[in-house]
Amino acid sequence: MKKAKIYIPNKSAMQSGLGKLDKWILEFETKDPTKNPLMGWESSSDTYSELKLEFSNIDLAINYAKKNKIDYEIIEPKKRKTVKKSYSDNFLN
């Protein structure tokens, strides 16, 4: 049976805001990764490992996995802790 993980991808190093972080990704796990003896790259005969599906919400991703009989694991995003800062705090002491 196919296995997959459902998650929200992290923002890239070039991204400072929180935009475009609302997509859920369903990514299949590689069954048998092997090392290419010539180049040393990791490769696999499993073509599902190259597939990443985007969904607008988690419910659609879960429904897709259930409909296609895919075992899935949900990786919840971590909550961002925001600290309110003020310019005047530099002068209080």
pLDDT digits (tens, 9 = 90+) for 26-57: 999 877 778 888 888 887 778 888 889 999 99
| Average pLDDT of the segment spanning 10-17 | 77
CA distances for 3 relative to 14, 39, 40, angstroms: 31, 28, 26
- The one-letter amino acid at 74: I
- The predicted pLDDT at position 93 comes to 65
Mean pLDDT (whole number) for 71-80: 89
What percent of the chain stands above pLDDT 70? 97
Other beta carbons within 10 Å of 15: 11
Instruction: pLDDT band for 70, please (50, 70, 90 cuts).
Output: very high
Give the model's pLDDT for residue 62.
Answer: 95
Inter-residue contact 44 to 30 (CB < 8 Å): yes
